[in-house]
A and B are shown apart, each in its own frame.
Chain A
Amino acid sequence: MASYKEIAEQGLWTQNVVFSQLLGLCPTLAVTTSGTNGLGMGLATTAVLAVSGMIVSSLRQWISPQVRIPVFIVLIAALVTLVDMGLNAYLHDLYKVLGMYIALIVANCSVLGRAEAFAAREPVFASGLDGLSMGLGFTFALTLIGLIRELLGAGTLFSQASLLLGPSFKFLETTVVADYGGFLLMILPPGGFLVLGCLLAAKRLYEARRAVAAGPLSPSAQPA
């Protein structure tokens, strides 16, 4: 079993849901029209990932491999519906921002993917941590894509953040370019593909450079 540090690292960076596994792209491309939307969607998904990981893990001895997929689906769909109802009733302003995207969490294959690949084999705490770090990695990716699209498309950062996080976060809302005419393409669906593609290329480039720099000196690369 991987150490807790490794689990966290995998979720946040090396196995990042969006940038490495390329999972959950439907919500990723759909909601990242602003940093705030990305952050909200990421946090809601994180909650579902962490809780579904723990539930699946605690039931793993009883779940027959033959019917595991429908069992996971029922559990995840029920959880997402709970989040949807809870947000609507108790955090209604946030729900108005995220509303129609909450149901999309069910369609996020990374939730089912983590249940299948991790939680069905590992202990409860590790599964919860895995869900949490995968979720935070997803949140990081969505917020980053959202911020870039928002900056290029509308010239602002974190607009409407106070609706999501409360009035005390009003300071996050910045207008970077006043009287910006707007670059519609970035807000529309193609912008999502363009930004995601550039970020993927940048991550590859960064890792390739680092591998080259570390290559001949790293002990693991020495011939035995």
Chain B
Amino acid sequence: MTLLELREKIGYHALLLGAVALAASVTLAGVDGKTRSGIAAAEQRDLQQSLAQVLPEGFADNDLLKDKVNLKRADGSAVAVFRARLKGEAKGAVFQMSARGYADEVVVLIGVDVGGRILGVRVLKHKETPGLGDKIEIAKGNWIRSFEGRSLGDPTAARFGVKKDGGVFDQFAGATITPRAVVKAVREGLQFFVANQPAIFAVPGKE
């Protein structure tokens, strides 16, 4: 029987499909094994870089990625807190917070010192309107730096909002919802930090 005749058989179709699917799966599994460690390393590097962005240079000398404690917020969601230490002494903490923006969740990374003062805030992930809401990115403007040095009580709770809501933080022309979400995430982050401060630093750091 020639290949042309064989190709017409139902059994051949099934075998062919099966063989192609098997070969594809084996290749994918092999490459997945090869690239997995590389991908994990790259993601760790990303996290390390963003952690370094929200802390001043020389602020900590420990490996923050390894000095991590997992806490729960009042609503049950988990927050991973990375602790910054200098010569073994606790200096501050870095954690993620998110709030609902215009399009989707806006995820911010907040660095706070032990006194509850903000060291730095960066937006990690958002899907806000390009050209309007994306000014919250450090690449598009300095707005996100307006949080530096702030803490709960500075400004007061009533003024910890965008200007349109009677607060102190600028909104952007044409975009109020996005900055409002970021301000909310930062405010909640500070509240979380203050409420959990003993727990954050209670567990000794693992080196």
Contacts and interface: CB of A to CB of B under 8 A. Distances in A.
The answer to whether A and B interact is yes
A71 B132 contact: no
Interface in A44-96: 61-67, 70-71, 74-75, 77-78, 81-82, 85-86, 88-90, 92, 95-96
B42 A92 contact: yes
Interface stretch (A9-17, A132-140, A165-173, A182-190): A182-190
21 contacts: A33-B130, A61-B3, A62-B3, A62-B16, A64-B7, A64-B8, A66-B8, A70-B17, A71-B16, A71-B20, A81-B28, A82-B27, A85-B32, A85-B35, A85-B39, A88-B35, A89-B39, A92-B42, A96-B46, A182-B131, A187-B131
Interface residues of B, number: 26
A45 to B, nearest CB: 19
Interface size class of A (residues with CB under 8 A): 20 to 34
Contact of A67 (B13, B36, B46): B13
A154 interface: yes
B203 interface: no
Interface of B: 3, 7-8, 12-13, 16-17, 20-21, 24, 27-28, 31-32, 34-36, 38-39, 42, 45-46, 129-132
A24 interface: no
Nearest to A67: B13
B31 A82 contact: yes
A77 B34 CA distance: 19
A86 B130 contact: no
B24 A74 contact: yes
A146 interface: no
B24 A75 contact: yes
